[in-house]
Amino acid sequence: MEDDADRLYRIFQDLSAPLEQVKNSAAAVYRLIRDLSPLIEAHTSMVCPDCREVCCRNRHSYHDRSDQIYMSALGIRVNNSSPVADDAPCRFISQNGCMLERPERPFRCTWFFCEPLLEHMSGSMPPRVFRDFNNRLAEITSRRMDMLNSFELISTRIPRHVPGRD
């Protein structure tokens, strides 16, 4: 049966032209996250291997509605069905960390920085680099929000098709 994620994916397939701007914005957000990823990984690779309380539980693995809009705009179909219990290790975790490309992870994963990780980042980056890092994170959030607002605005013209706008 078609769920909300499937319906959002189909909307982007069916209404490709009116949603072009949303798709372009999602692609820009993708690139921003991708480009920031090496900097984040330089620090997670130092801090996470010694972690005793790994944050990657399966309950964090689900793409919420905003993630579904973003992923659908990228032409990626989300699969939120999971046989794994919510408190078990995330279904996407492997020996080498998350199996999903960072821009395709639920946004909450991109945004989560535990205290030891943040301390490591702020303590080892020159202040200017750390400020730049925070600015880039803020830009990602702002561009993503613009993309979502754009979608919601356009979707007011197609309310019957859009989950959450029935």
Binding site for ligand SF4 (CB under 6 A): 44, 47-48, 51, 53-56, 60-61, 90, 92-93, 98, 100, 105-106, 109, 114, 116-117
Nearer to ligand SF4 among residue 70 and residue 92 (C-beta)? 92
The distance of closest approach from Cβ of residue 102 to ligand SF4 in the complex, given in angstroms and rounded to an integer, is 8
Structure tokens at 128: 């200017």
Total Cβ atoms within 10 A of residue 46: 13
Nearer to ligand SF4 among residue 2 and residue 53 (C-beta)? 53
Buried/exposed 125-159: b ≥16 CB within 10 Å, e otherwise? beeeeeeebeeebeebeebbeebbebbeebbeeee
Q: Please say whether the beta carbons of 21 and 128 come within 8 A.
A: no
The distance of closest approach from Cβ of residue 131 to ligand SF4 in the complex, given in angstroms and rounded to an integer, is 21
Nearer to ligand SF4 among residue 54 and residue 145 (C-beta)? 54
Nearer to ligand SF4 among residue 11 and residue 109 (C-beta)? 109
The distance of closest approach from Cβ of residue 91 to ligand SF4 in the complex, given in angstroms and rounded to an integer, is 7
The distance of closest approach from Cβ of residue 145 to ligand SF4 in the complex, given in angstroms and rounded to an integer, is 20
Total Cβ atoms within 10 A of residue 92: 19
Cα separation, 32 vs 30, in Å, equals: 6
